[in-house]
A = this chain, B = another copy of it.
Amino acid sequence: MPEDALARTRNLFIRRWGEMGATWGISRTMAEIHALLFLTGDPYCTDDIMEHLQVSRGNASMNLRQLVNWGLIRRTHLRGDRKEYFVSDLDAWQMFETITRERRRREVEPIIETIDRCRQDLAAEMAALPPDKQEESRRYDEKLKDMIEFIHAVNALLDTVLTSGGGKIRKLTAVLMKVATSGKALSH
C-alpha cells in the first residue's frame, strides 16, 4: 500500500525523533517506538510495532520494556485479545517531567556522589600533602564546591518548575522575566 499524506508525515516525524533520541543517548528504536505511540495515542502490540518500524521481535520487546521502565508508556490489554498492548498517554509536559526525573536519578545523582567523595578524600589527605600542593589542592576543592553548588541550584530551580506543573509554565516565565530584567529586586 502506498503511504497516504498522514502516514508519510507521521513517519517523517518518527524518523527525526529517532535521530534526535540517538544524539541524546537514547537508542533510535526506543525513540521511534515512543514517537509512534505518542503521536497516535493508540494501543499497539509487539507485532504492530515490528511491522510499522520494521524491527525484529527481540528489539521491539527490549525497547518496549525500557520505555515502560522509564515510565513513558504503559502496558494495557484489549478485550478478547490475549496480546499485550502498549500506550503512551502522557502529554508533552508529563513526558518532559518523566524524562527529567529519570535522567537526574540515573546520571546526575552519581556525579554528585562522585564530587562529594572527591572532596572527602581530598579533605582527609590534605594535611599529609607537601606544602606546595596545598594551594593547588585548595583551588581544586574550590572548583568542586562551585560545581556542586551549581548542580544543586539548577536542581532546585528545576524542582520548582516541575512541581508547579505544565499549565503554569508560561506564567512562571512571565514572572521570571519581569524579576530577571528589573535588576532592582535582585540586586543584593
Contacts and interface: CB of A to CB of B under 8 A. Distances in A.
Contacts of A154: 96, 169
A175 interface: yes
A41 B25 CA distance: 29
A179 B172 contact: yes
Contact of A5 (B16, B121, B143, B180): B121
Interface in A90-116: 91-93, 96, 106-107, 110-111, 114-115
Contact of A115 (B13, B115, B186): B13
A157 interface: yes
A82 interface: no
A171 B153 contact: no
Contact of A39 (B41, B140, B153, B176): B140
Nearest to A128: B5
Given A5-B126, A157-B173, A163-B180, 13 more contacts: A6-B137, A9-B118, A12-B114, A20-B111, A23-B25, A23-B106, A38-B143, A92-B151, A156-B173, A157-B172, A164-B176, A168-B186, A175-B175
Interface of A: 4-6, 8-10, 12-13, 16-17, 20, 22-25, 38-41, 91-93, 96, 106-107, 110-111, 114-115, 117-118, 121-122, 124-126, 128-129, 133, 136-137, 139-140, 143-144, 146-147, 149-151, 153-154, 156-157, 160-161, 163-164, 166, 168-173, 175-177, 179-181, 185-186
